[in-house]
Structure 1
Amino acid sequence: MSYVTSNQPTGTPTWIELDVPVAETERAKEFYGALFDWEFAVGAPGAGQYTVCLLRGHAVAGLRPVTTGPALGHWRVYIATDDCDSTAKRVLDAGGTLIESPAEVGDRGRAALAVDPVGAEFGLWQGRGRIGSGIVNEPGSLVRNDLTTPDPATARAFYPAVFDYTLDGDDGQPDTDFTFLRRPDGHEIGGIMGVPQGAPSAWGTCFEVADADAAVARAVAAGGTAGAPSDMVHARLAEITDPFGNTFVVGERPGAGES
């Protein structure tokens, strides 16, 4: 099992959360509980109350209550850092902006929200009481985050400047503009995909599932919409939109659905 028991190295996607209107929190719990077999717990007191999504009792994601402002339209990714303030300064020095400056989140950690130079939002997380997702890379949990943007060159300059990533092209897909992002130790943490001009820049989230076709059926039955699953090089993927208009991807590893 892919349990995480300590803070991830700086530059690793470590937590995901979804902005949910306060009045829709229970509906969101119904949808994602049906899709991923999650359970839920109150993560912090206050208006609306932050909801922690649990897989076998381990925190894997969060539902952030919101009352105003535009919907993000997708899950927000937080990238691990061992010094939130220092990394936030690197964001600014590299041409990004801060929506929320570094601040304590109770005893759970220190966080900031940023926007990169191509307009994609992401968070920074310096874990303490909560290290981030306690389970990854298995059904019902985070498996991957990739940035899609019509300006990949700018993104390829920004993220190495902030997180010391190295870049690798994808020789296996010569017809796509895709760049792997790797930590200094060589570990792949995601990638940057160039998309046509006019498309919004955003970090996407992929959840692992045991059976992509079954996940699509569950999502539709729970009130979402979905595209047909398709077989890619490394997984069988499908895009799902939840009842509130947020999109994400589910992925089934080759052979995962076989008995």
Structure 2
Amino acid sequence: MRRMVFLLLLPLFVMAEQEYFTWVDAQGRIHNSLVNRESDEKGQEAGKQTESESEQPLGTKNKVPSLSAEKDEYLTEEQFEKKLEKEKADNPPFFTYVDETGQVRNQTIIDSQIEVEEVDVPVSYDHIYAPPFRVSEKMSSGCCQRYRSYFKEQISAEKSVLFSGFLNTVPISTRFGPKKAWYFKLDDPSDFRVLQLKLRQEDSAANLPVSIILADHQFSALYFTPQLSFVSKEGSWLGQPSKNTMVKIDDQDVVSVIIYFPADAPANASLEVNWWHGKASD
């Protein structure tokens, strides 16, 4: 009788030790699953270990690495460059695109070094002044000595100077009467110089002629052009529209320059002057 009672109570002890939890799946069906006590015990032990670590003193919880360990982490410039090269080689750049079938693909970018050969582009000049093209002595002697006191502006190489209006200028005398003019001198004369002129004026006066006289240090005329050739440049956010001309001066005796308008000059006209020493390749 006692043995029978023991056998009857044994399943009850086994059932008491086992635990189940009830859950509902996505279709709404109810399930009973056995609880894994081993995993629960491991989870409880991990939680106790975390709590014990949090209770450690502040100095021992987060240990500061030694200086020697930090020193090993610093790289020299050469080591750092090698590391970057290795990372670049291990992870080459790529681009993503969609092919004709609609599939997304990645393709490595080929880092090809293209050597570009520098080509000297020939410089074109609107006017060239050299000794064979000098004016006659008769014209030279009767020109510009009377204006020597007007050449107050001396322009250095690669220094831009702006002449604006004619309020403080003296007109030049011509056979057609006095004409508005600008006077300046070129510093540091040499055999080969490039003179750049940028003229800005009203659109209604865009076709007005502009003359130039080049003189030596004694203010004797060496070259004369009654009408300069200009190339129009449209305005943009970088600057206003202008008319530009490039002048090659292949004569070291040229020192003084006069720019004047044979016809009526617009009151708001301005001239930007810049020059530099030329190169033999030009």
When normalised by structure 1's length, the TM-score is 0.20
Looking at secondary structure, tell me which structure has more helix per residue. Answer: 2
Looking at secondary structure, tell me which structure has more strand per residue. Answer: 1
Report which of the two structures shows the higher radius of gyration computed on alpha carbons.
Answer: 2
